[in-house]
């Protein structure tokens, strides 16, 4: 039996502890007063903890081949079996897994209780400041020093925390590469005097990302227009690429089609104008989109709200068509780590053994979850990656 210390009682740390407890003396060191703080914030408090379509295509990483060896059908089945075994009944909506209680606290408490049942020691309010290695590991904290044979660094990324994760400095000390860490699944910031006028509008749209004028990725869904820029799940799906691009001084531009269900805007408006008679241009937009958005677009085109479609010049019609179907918004920043659901960057997957999550640089050192350079889309993918890497590490620690 080995003595194992897990730094971080989040998603991957709790799962690692559950599986490693079979043949080891396991201790979790958690800096917060309770474990699983981030779990409580997922899925708007409902905890979208997994997805039926759990494949590598939903992730961003430079090591896709290694990720494919981590996300296997066997490991996916182990995740499902784990939650069955701790009493979480899934409520599956469009492939998204939620607990039947619709409360994230149910997932946190189930994992926490399972750790206690299995004899895992949990020390909270414990800040790790350093780790030393001399054949065995010594973890230095505000509550003293802890010795162990093997150690798991599972303390999460910079996302949704006020202070930088200690994990990056620890792993750098042990000669690991840290790819640039940037916010992901986060709102995007722009500048423009029109932002306040459309703030509060939500609309189903198609959004496309262009980096240095080159198309990168497209997403459909609800876009939230704000006084700082844009938000919404479909925007989040592009944010990892945007963050990486901004870090590398690239020009990031989002193109928005506010009416993706219409093939030809001018033809559509000609027909609408002939059917819905004696209406101003502003009134023709009623029933198509929120008036705050339509009035913003009309203003940007220098079109009077009270003018009629027939009186508008062809040049202005073409400009309005471009605004409605291909609106360009320059992205200057993100809302930062405190607003991010996860981070892009961290330790490359090439620096761990995907069959064990053990470092290829340091024997007895394991890395799980968000500290690895692999971030997923919205939909339970990041928690799913945490569960799987925790299971792999926990099982390997029993060998």
Residue 287 predicted with pLDDT over 90: no
Confidence of residue 181 (pLDDT cuts 50, 70, 90): very high
Query: Residue 49 and residue 14: Cα distance in Å, rounded?
Result: 14
Q: The tokens 């339509």 sit on which residue?
A: 294
Cβ-contact 174, 130 below 8 angstroms = no
Query: Pick from 335, 353, 375: which residue ends a domain?
Result: 335
Query: Pick from 281, 310, 335: which residue ends a domain?
Result: 335
pLDDT at 161: 81
Residues in the chain: 399
pLDDT at 310: 95
Mapped onto helix, strand or coil, the DSSP state of residue 281 is helix
Question: Positive or negative CA dihedral for 296, 302, 307, 309?
Answer: negative
pLDDT at 361: 96
Q: Is the model's pTM score more than 0.75?
A: yes
Give which of 345, 391, 385 is closest to 68, Cα–Cα: 385
Q: How many CB atoms lie within 10 A of CB 121?
A: 15
pLDDT at 41: 84
Give the CA angle between residues 318, 323, 326 to the nearest 5°: 105
Residue 162 predicted with pLDDT over 80: no
pLDDT tens-place string over residues 255-268? 999 999 999 999 99
344 φ/ψ angles, rounded to the nearest 5 degrees: -100, 140
pLDDT tens-place string over residues 202-252? 999 999 999 999 999 999 999 999 999 999 999 999 999 999 999 999 999
Confidence of residue 160 (pLDDT cuts 50, 70, 90): confident
Give which of 300, 307, 314 is closest to 281, Cα–Cα: 307
Q: Are residues 307 and 384 in the same domain?
A: no
Q: Are residues 302 and 388 in the same domain?
A: no
Residue 42 predicted with pLDDT over 90: no
DSSP secondary structure string for all residues of 124-154: -S--EEEEEESSSEEEEETTEEEEESEEEE-
pLDDT at 174: 96
* Strand 214-225 versus strand 179-184 pairing type: unpaired
The number of folded domains in the chain is 2
Q: Are residues 272 and 155 in the same domain?
A: no
Q: Which structure tokens are listed for 286?
A: 């009623």
What are 368's strand-pairing partners? none
Q: Are residues 169 and 105 in the same domain?
A: yes
Q: Are residues 151 and 272 in the same domain?
A: no
Residue 149 predicted with pLDDT over 80: yes
């Amino acid at each position: 039996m080995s003595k194992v210390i897990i730094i971080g009682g989040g998603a991957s740390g709790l799962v690692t502890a559950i599986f490693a407890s079979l043949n080891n003396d396991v201790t979790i060191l958690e800096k917060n007063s309770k474990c699983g703080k981030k779990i409580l914030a997922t899925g708007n408090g409902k905890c979208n903890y997994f997805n039926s379509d759990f494949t590598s295509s939903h992730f961003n990483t430079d090591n896709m081949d290694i990720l494919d060896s981590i996300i296997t059908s066997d490991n996916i089945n182990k995740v499902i079996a784990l939650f069955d075994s701790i009493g979480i009944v899934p409520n599956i909506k469009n492939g998204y897994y939620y607990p039947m209680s619709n409360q994230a606290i149910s997932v946190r408490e189930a994992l926490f209780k399972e750790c206690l049942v299995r004899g895992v020691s949990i020390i909270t309010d414990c800040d790790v400041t350093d780790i030393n290695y001399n054949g065995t590991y010594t973890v230095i904290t505000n509550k003293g020093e802890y010795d162990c044979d093997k150690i798991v660094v599972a303390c999460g990324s910079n996302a949704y925390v006020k202070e930088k994760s200690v994990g990056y400095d620890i792993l750098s000390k042990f000669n690991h590469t840290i790819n640039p860490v940037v916010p992901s699944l986060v709102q995007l910031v722009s500048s423009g005097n029109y932002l306040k006028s459309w703030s509060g509008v939500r609309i189903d749209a198609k959004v496309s990302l262009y980096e240095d004028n080159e198309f990168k990725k497209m997403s459909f869904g609800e876009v939230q227009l704000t006084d700082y820029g844009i938000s919404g799940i479909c925007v989040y799906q592009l944010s990892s690429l945007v963050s990486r691009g901004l870090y590398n001084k690239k020009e990031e531009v989002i193109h928005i089609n506010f009416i993706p269900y219409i093939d030809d805007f001018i033809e559509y408006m000609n027909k609408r104008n002939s059917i819905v008679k004696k209406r101003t241009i502003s009134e023709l937009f009623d029933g198509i989109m929120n008036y705050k958005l339509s009035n913003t677009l009309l203003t940007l085109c220098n079109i009077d709200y009270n003018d009629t479609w027939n009186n508008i010049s062809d040049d202005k019609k073409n400009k309005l068509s471009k605004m409605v179907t291909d609106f360009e918004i320059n992205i200057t920043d993100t809302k930062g780590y405190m607003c991010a659901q996860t981070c892009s960057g961290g330790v490359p997957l090439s620096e761990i053994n995907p069959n064990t999550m053990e470092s290829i640089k340091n024997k007895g050192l394991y890395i799980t979850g968000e500290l690895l350079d692999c971030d997923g889309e919205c939909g339970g993918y990041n928690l799913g990656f945490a569960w799987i890497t925790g299971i792999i590490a926990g099982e390997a620690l029993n060998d």
